[in-house]
Amino acid sequence: MEMVFLGFVLMLSIFLGFELISKVPATLHTPLMSGANAISGITVVGAITLAGGELAGWATLLAAMAVFFATVNVVGGYMVTDRMLSMFKKKDKPEARS
């Protein structure tokens, strides 16, 4: 049952992801890629559960390393996206208003 439930969640998320992105102007390709990349750092949540749980020493160490790398991905990813968009906003402000 659990597997069926997770399968449904997976299927619906994939279809949603396909539909979310439609027409994207070329200037937004890199920021969108970077923003999506930051979301994929969600693996930090899984790493936290494992690193704080009751696991053997080796697994806890691996999970702690995962927390480190995923945090780099999340924090760096969102900041870089924000920096790119702030440049972009200044340049295109009149256009964005119309």
Interactions with another protein, residue window 8-67 (CB under 8 A): 9-10, 13-18, 20-56, 58-67
At its nearest, how many Å lie between another protein and the CB of residue 93? 10
If one asks whether residue 68 binds another protein (CB under 8 A), the answer comes out as yes
Given 1, 2, 4, 94, the residue binding another protein (CB under 8 A) = 2
Query: Please, are residues 48 and 67 in contact by the beta-carbon 8 Å criterion?
Result: yes
* Residues near 94 by beta carbon (within 8 Å), at least 6 away in sequence: none
Query: Please, are residues 43 and 70 in contact by the beta-carbon 8 Å criterion?
Result: yes
Task: Name the nearest CA neighbour of 43 among 76, 60, 66.
Answer: 66
At its nearest, how many Å lie between another protein and the CB of residue 7? 9
At its nearest, how many Å lie between another protein and the CB of residue 46? 5
